[in-house]
Chains A and B, each alone.
Chain A
Amino acid sequence: MTGLRRFGPLWRMRTFVRPYRGRMLFMLGCAAVGVAASTVVPLVIMAIVDGPIRDGDRGGLLWMCAFALGLGLAEAGLIFARRWVQQRVVLRVEAQIRNDLYTHLQRLPLAFHNRWQTGQLLSRATTDLSVIRRFLGFGAIFLVVNALQCVAVVILLLLLNWPLALLVAASMAPAAWLGKRFGTGYAAGSRRVQDQQGDLATLVEESATGIRVTKAFGRGPLLQDRFGRAARTLRESSLDMVRLRAGFWALLQLIPNLTMAAVVLVGAIAVADGRMSLGALVAFTSMLVLLQWPVIDLGWILALAEEAATGAERLYEVFDEPLTITDRPDAVALSRVRGRLAFEEVSFRYPDSGPEEPPALRGIDLVVEPGETVAIVGATGSGKSTLAALVPRLYDVTGGRITLDGQDVRDLRLSSLRSHVAVAFEDPVLFSMSVRENLTFGHPEATEGDIRAALELAQAEYVYDLPWGLETRIGEQGLSLSGGQRQRLALARAVIARPSVLVLDDPLSALDVHTEALVEEALDRVLSGTTGLLVVHRPSTVALADRVALLQDGVLAAVGTHSELMATTPAYAAVLSATAPEGVPTP
């Protein structure tokens, strides 16, 4: 049944609730007993009207009223107990799901993150989760309780007067049918709304992070326009939902009210004929009012359930994404690494590339001996950065293999591989954290001495002069650094753990001429002891390498020393030399 399958993802969420099974049952118990208490009150009233009041028994009246009061206070106490437990459970479940989501996201491959906008992920971690939380806390319990209450009230009504009760029960059939129809429409609508919220979050995220570009071109109005359009689309979809909801809720009110009219008609006739006591009719009508609220609430709960189901579906879209880059079952950790890095027939194709597109890398054969430094040179877009990203397994090769000391990198433990291979990117990613945390990013065990040495090497000692030294918060949320300062910090981060293999993806591009020479000098010292793979654009940086590999359109065109290639390969000279004749076709 398609109606139920829709709730499949929500049902899967039960694994998160399972540890709290006992408490959920307790909550359900409290809710049920509380509702029962409030249901019994009209019966007590009936007893009072038909008993002490008719008989003029003041003592009995007092006693019965005390009983009603006790019931009422018990109800309040039960509500308190339920909510006290509920808030703890539900918030823990929400936090757990969010933690798991984040943990999973962090381990999903780069290919996934290139495809998914952060805004869409954020809306799952906040908006969708809070809907699920509300459903687990209120919806799920009251779905059961309200349904039970309806059944209980109907049973009581049956006991009071079965023909009238059958009339009431019959009136619930259209409500059930409506609920089903409503569910179908609401499901599609809530998916649309939640997706559009994600789109809007994406626009917000981009406009916030790209603010400098927007300012530089004065394109605020353009983005406002885009945002306005998306916000208006969301408004339309939300209004569709409002209309749907309003119609459904109105009908849910109409049905019990019409039932009430019918009951009064039939009941009054029955009383007049003497087939029913007046007290029974009074109790019957009071009981009917009791039915009204749970039915109306059911409408609200169903809407919530639909939204929660959509939220769960959206969450499982992420949870179900396979972690493609993980440890193999028999993965080993390397304790000592000599640092022989070999590419064997490596080819790579981006998962989102078109079928007619050539692979980004094809048939790469390259060996970097321990301690050797090889520079990868090539025109913009020739695949240099892609090649660099394959070494720490940010992507996995799609053909051939990469080995470290003869071991396929995919057979190594990921944490082991990435601790031996350090990377610095051209575009240095710093986080709004203290300088220290940014530096010891992957090596919390680094000592003060390690930090000092790395900073010295990367010519980044300027951080000691920041207002709070190493504790200064930098990056987006704190002090803003210049491009060169950021690159030097990223470089210090890469060398801090003295990795066996250093992969540097054009890490000096934003350095000014003053510092570049100093950093190069220091790098030269580091690279003399480690295996280095260097993606470079500048002739000056090529000097750091023992050998050079020329990459052209994803194919290794030539490998040799700088002077060899200068002499034998015109394409190499063209890529590197500022003095080469213009008009040499760039690949």
Chain B
Amino acid sequence: MSAVEQWRGVASEQDEEISGHVSALLQRRSRRLLGSLVRPHRRRVWWLVLAVLLQNAAAMSGPWLVGMGIDRGIPALRSGRGSPLFLVVAALVAAAVTEGVAYRAFVVGTGRVGQDVLLDLRERVFAHLQRLSLAFHERYTSGRVISRLTSDLDAITELLNEGVDTLVTSALSIISISVILMVLDWPLGLVSLAALIPLLLLSRWFQVRSTAAYRRTREAVALLVIHFTESLGGIRAVQAFRREPRNDEIFAEVNNQYRQATLRAFQLITIYWPGIHAIGNVATAAVLLYGGLRVVGGSMRLGVLVAFLLYLRRFFEPMAEISEFYDSFQGAAAGLEKLSGVLEEEPSVPMFSRPAPEPEGGWRGEVRFDGVRFGYRPGVEVLPELDLTVPAGQTVALLGRTGAGKTTIARLLARFYDPDEGRVTVDGTSLPELTEQQLRRVVAMVTQENFLFSGTVAENIVFGRPDATRAEIEAAAGAIGADVFIRALPDGYDTDVGKRGSRLSAGQRQLVAFARAFLADPAVLILDEATSSLDVPSERAVQRALRTVLADRTAVIIAHRLSTVEIADRVLVLDDGRVIEDGTPSDLLGSGGEYADLHRAWRDSLV
């Protein structure tokens, strides 16, 4: 285990090493993805092929025309006729202009197709990631998501920016030169085309070796991105605990691993590229010798040999170009492979696409858990068997130790996960039958995290319901007593909250998150310890607001402190995923169970 591995610790799944069979499977998968990306642009691709053929034909005619000028134009000129030469020169000019115009059209065209493909791929991956369930995100983690959407896509961008057009033009010139060489003089043509055999062997060797090498670079860069974003995201803790030297060490190691992986890939190129040059130069020498002998022997004209040698240059130059871009191609292929992997992930809680029939008179919010069993990992059951009915409009508080299953119940109700067995229903409709839009109108959750996006305060609140007016936003903030501090900000509701809301205090962030949930106005509201960072007066204000807001809606509150429980109609005390106490707060106080004990301790702590 390397030092980096020691630092990272052990996680459940490691899917690093890839066998040959899987490798072929991966390549097929990314080819499928590429096909589906390019298919919509088929017509444009045909136009591009036309443009590049034209450009190529014009470019190819150059040496031939020069040969004509020498073989025909000069003798004609010597005998006093200038027109063949002028004709050749005019043709050269025409070819040059055609080549330029067609080339520009081709580059712009491929650029557009490339950028469209890139946009399509970006949006597809992003949308797919948004669709994937939380279970996936918790396994896959944000660092890798970021790495996929940045560095992997960068690799593809690099290829599109600098590779594709060169690849295509080079490939085309190689093919057309092969044809021209054969037409000009087939024995000499055969001699030069024989060079293709070692060339193909060398390319095959490179392809096999480099695929694995580039795959490793993608893995390595993902690790680098993870460490980079995480440590800068948590910079406060890093600095407060003098973590910088150790982080430097880890980053240096991760960075070094990435360097090593890249080096390995580059070393292959270092053998491949000069190899191509060597083969080309040997072929040129062979043609020169053979052709020269034939000219001397009189079975070949000098002009043909000159043209042949000119073409041969253009034959091997693009080979080298291709090998150069084969490098960015392999990088992009590895990126595409990773992205196709993400796109193949199926959401573990697939959303229904056809809306379930809305209950008459709208959603009331009766929640039922029927025989629900659930565990995050096989064999570790968090909820052994839960049956629970929350009548519409009731406010339920969940109490219990860490690991008792409070948050799990909330997550099942918000459909972050689906139960292993049994079902969760709202107003008799099973949650999986709802579309995403319906689901979020029915159930909304305020989490402990209070994550704020960069943007203004208003933008963060309106996240709860994008079509809300400014007045509604301010009303929601007002209802929970957040408008006092918001108005005191320099630009009021239009104040930028800074990165992750750094301009606001933890309590203020929580109030904004609350306003967001109130604005969403769902039939069932889940509060996961949502008042933990508030001072007592703010908490009281929020609770006052909750009383009105929750009056006609169902609420599930995960409570760590008993002040929250005060507004509940009903308390559930959980232990190991089972309900051990269930009743109104006053009933439970009288029964002398765990709740009563906790409550007594809490009252004592109050001033």
Q: A254-B96, A257-B92 are in contact. Are A220 and B131 (CB under 8 A)?
A: yes
Q: A212-B451, A478-B11 are in contact. Are A282 and B306 (CB under 8 A)?
A: yes
Contact assessment for A509 and B537 in the assembled complex, using a CB-CB cutoff below 8 Å: no
Interface size on B, residues (CB 8 A): 188
Contact assessment for B281 and A72 in the assembled complex, using a CB-CB cutoff below 8 Å: yes
Contact mask B253-268 → A, CB, 8 Å, 1/0?
0011011001100110
Closest Cβ neighbor of A111 among chain B residues: B502
Contact assessment for A254 and B263 in the assembled complex, using a CB-CB cutoff below 8 Å: no
User: Is A336 in contact with chain B by the CB < 8 A criterion?
Assistant: no
User: Is A331 in contact with chain B by the CB < 8 A criterion?
Assistant: no
User: Is B209 in contact with chain A by the CB < 8 A criterion?
Assistant: no
Q: Which chain A residues in 130-184 approach chain B with CB under 8 Å? A: 130
Q: Which chain A residues in 419-469 approach chain B with CB under 8 Å? A: 419, 422-423, 425-427, 429-437, 441-444, 462, 467-468
One of A309-317, A523-531, A572-580 at the interface: A572-580
Contact mask A95-122 → B, CB, 8 Å, 1/0?
1001100110111001001111111011
Contact assessment for A265 and B85 in the assembled complex, using a CB-CB cutoff below 8 Å: yes
A430 to B449, CA, bound (A): 13
Closest Cβ neighbor of A69 among chain B residues: B285
Contact assessment for B535 and A380 in the assembled complex, using a CB-CB cutoff below 8 Å: yes
A75 to B296, CA, bound (A): 28
List, in ascending order, chain B residues with CB within 8 A of A419's CB. Answer: 242
List, in ascending order, chain A residues with CB within 8 A of B403's CB. Answer: 462, 482
Q: A83-B269, A257-B95 are in contact. Are A476 and B143 (CB under 8 A)?
A: yes
List, in ascending order, chain B residues with CB within 8 A of A224's CB. Answer: 123, 126-127, 130
Contact assessment for A84 and B270 in the assembled complex, using a CB-CB cutoff below 8 Å: yes
User: Is B414 in contact with chain A by the CB < 8 A criterion?
Assistant: yes
List, in ascending order, chain B residues with CB within 8 A of A95's CB. Answer: 255-256, 258-259
Closest Cβ neighbor of B106 among chain A residues: A246
User: Is B44 in contact with chain A by the CB < 8 A criterion?
Assistant: no
List, in ascending order, chain A residues with CB within 8 A of B277's CB. Answer: 72, 75-76, 79
One of A16-24, A235-243, A363-371 at the interface: A235-243
A493 to B11, CA, bound (A): 21
Contact assessment for A99 and B255 in the assembled complex, using a CB-CB cutoff below 8 Å: yes
Contact assessment for A415 and B242 in the assembled complex, using a CB-CB cutoff below 8 Å: yes
Q: Which chain B residues in 180-204 approach chain A with CB under 8 Å? A: none
Contact assessment for B8 and A433 in the assembled complex, using a CB-CB cutoff below 8 Å: yes
One of B15-23, B228-236, B366-374 at the interface: B228-236
Most buried by A among B157, B231, B277, B402: B402
Contact assessment for B414 and A427 in the assembled complex, using a CB-CB cutoff below 8 Å: no
Contact assessment for B146 and A201 in the assembled complex, using a CB-CB cutoff below 8 Å: yes
One of A7-15, A56-64, A338-346, A404-412 at the interface: A56-64
Q: Which chain A residues in 301-357 approach chain B with CB under 8 Å? A: 350, 352-354, 356-357
A43 to B43, CA, bound (A): 46
Q: A92-B259, A99-B251, A394-B236 are in contact. Are A48 and B292 (CB under 8 A)?
A: yes
Contact assessment for B607 and A254 in the assembled complex, using a CB-CB cutoff below 8 Å: no
List, in ascending order, chain B residues with CB within 8 A of A293's CB. Answer: 317
List, in ascending order, chain A residues with CB within 8 A of B112's CB. Answer: 239, 242
CB < 8 Å neighbour of B296 from A56, A210, A434: A56
Q: A210-B453, A212-B134 are in contact. Are A113 and B115 (CB under 8 A)?
A: no
B521 CB to closest chain A CB (Å) equals 11
CB < 8 Å neighbour of A219 from B161, B162, B463, B505: B463
Contact assessment for A539 and B606 in the assembled complex, using a CB-CB cutoff below 8 Å: yes
User: Is B240 in contact with chain A by the CB < 8 A criterion?
Assistant: yes
User: Is A271 in contact with chain B by the CB < 8 A criterion?
Assistant: yes
A61 to B305, CA, bound (A): 14
Closest Cβ neighbor of B72 among chain A residues: A268
Contact assessment for A87 and B266 in the assembled complex, using a CB-CB cutoff below 8 Å: yes
Contact assessment for A218 and B107 in the assembled complex, using a CB-CB cutoff below 8 Å: no
Q: A477-B141, A566-B607, A578-B606 are in contact. Are A380 and B11 (CB under 8 A)?
A: no
Contact assessment for A79 and B101 in the assembled complex, using a CB-CB cutoff below 8 Å: no
List, in ascending order, chain A residues with CB within 8 A of B549's CB. Answer: none
Contact assessment for B9 and A441 in the assembled complex, using a CB-CB cutoff below 8 Å: no
* CB within 8 Å: A-B pair count: 548
Contact assessment for A437 and B7 in the assembled complex, using a CB-CB cutoff below 8 Å: yes
B544 CB to closest chain A CB (Å) equals 7
Q: A242-B112, A425-B237 are in contact. Are A444 and B229 (CB under 8 A)?
A: no
User: Is B28 in contact with chain A by the CB < 8 A criterion?
Assistant: no
User: Is B46 in contact with chain A by the CB < 8 A criterion?
Assistant: no
Contact assessment for B111 and A239 in the assembled complex, using a CB-CB cutoff below 8 Å: yes
User: Is B10 in contact with chain A by the CB < 8 A criterion?
Assistant: yes
Contact assessment for A434 and B6 in the assembled complex, using a CB-CB cutoff below 8 Å: yes
Closest Cβ neighbor of A76 among chain B residues: B278
Q: Which chain B residues in 245-293 approach chain A with CB under 8 Å? A: 246-248, 251-252, 255-256, 258-259, 262-263, 266-267, 269-271, 273-275, 277-278, 280-282, 284-285, 288-289, 292-293
User: Is A125 in contact with chain B by the CB < 8 A criterion?
Assistant: yes
User: Is B41 in contact with chain A by the CB < 8 A criterion?
Assistant: no
A353 to B240, CA, bound (A): 23
A477 to B507, CA, bound (A): 27
Contact assessment for B93 and A215 in the assembled complex, using a CB-CB cutoff below 8 Å: no
Q: Which chain A residues in 471-513 approach chain B with CB under 8 Å? A: 471-480, 482-485, 490, 493, 506, 509-513
Contact assessment for A126 and B151 in the assembled complex, using a CB-CB cutoff below 8 Å: yes
User: Is A4 in contact with chain B by the CB < 8 A criterion?
Assistant: no
Q: A117-B499, A285-B310, A477-B143 are in contact. Are A204 and B149 (CB under 8 A)?
A: yes
List, in ascending order, chain B residues with CB within 8 A of A130's CB. Answer: 154, 158
Closest Cβ neighbor of B516 among chain A residues: A217
CB < 8 Å neighbour of B9 from A126, A235, A423, A473: A473
A413 to B244, CA, bound (A): 14
One of B31-39, B356-364, B439-447, B581-589 at the interface: B439-447
A86 to B243, CA, bound (A): 34
A319 to B511, CA, bound (A): 37
User: Is A77 in contact with chain B by the CB < 8 A criterion?
Assistant: yes
A354 to B401, CA, bound (A): 44
List, in ascending order, chain B residues with CB within 8 A of A91's CB. Answer: 259, 262-263, 266
Contact assessment for A220 and B10 in the assembled complex, using a CB-CB cutoff below 8 Å: no
List, in ascending order, chain B residues with CB within 8 A of A289's CB. Answer: 63, 310, 313-314
CB < 8 Å neighbour of A94 from B62, B141, B161, B259: B259
Closest Cβ neighbor of B460 among chain A residues: A213
User: Is B40 in contact with chain A by the CB < 8 A criterion?
Assistant: no
User: Is A2 in contact with chain B by the CB < 8 A criterion?
Assistant: no
List, in ascending order, chain A residues with CB within 8 A of B506's CB. Answer: 385, 426-427, 506
List, in ascending order, chain B residues with CB within 8 A of A271's CB. Answer: 74
Contact assessment for B240 and A423 in the assembled complex, using a CB-CB cutoff below 8 Å: yes
User: Is B471 in contact with chain A by the CB < 8 A criterion?
Assistant: no
Q: A125-B228, A212-B449, A513-B561 are in contact. Are A243 and B111 (CB under 8 A)?
A: yes
A208 CB to closest chain B CB (Å) equals 4
Closest Cβ neighbor of A417 among chain B residues: B242
Contact assessment for A250 and B498 in the assembled complex, using a CB-CB cutoff below 8 Å: no
List, in ascending order, chain A residues with CB within 8 A of B499's CB. Answer: 113-118
List, in ascending order, chain B residues with CB within 8 A of A566's CB. Answer: 607
Q: A264-B69, A474-B9 are in contact. Are A510 and B221 (CB under 8 A)?
A: no
CB < 8 Å neighbour of A253 from B6, B99, B447: B99
User: Is A515 in contact with chain B by the CB < 8 A criterion?
Assistant: yes
List, in ascending order, chain B residues with CB within 8 A of A77's CB. Answer: 274
Closest Cβ neighbor of B271 among chain A residues: A80
User: Is A33 in contact with chain B by the CB < 8 A criterion?
Assistant: no
User: Is B47 in contact with chain A by the CB < 8 A criterion?
Assistant: no
A260 to B607, CA, bound (A): 96
Going nearest first, the 9 A-B pairs with the smallest beta carbon separation are A72-B281, A434-B9, A218-B440, A242-B111, A442-B241, A380-B507, A257-B96, A220-B130, A473-B9
Q: A238-B111, A239-B115 known; 5 other A-B pairs, CB under 8 Å?
A: A126-B221, A216-B444, A222-B463, A264-B73, A513-B602
Q: What are 28 A-B pairs with beta-carbon distances under 8 A?
A: A61-B296, A71-B281, A73-B278, A95-B258, A102-B255, A110-B239, A126-B154, A204-B126, A208-B145, A211-B134, A219-B463, A220-B127, A250-B101, A352-B498, A380-B508, A381-B507, A419-B242, A433-B9, A441-B241, A473-B8, A473-B9, A484-B402, A485-B402, A513-B561, A516-B560, A578-B540, A582-B544, A586-B541
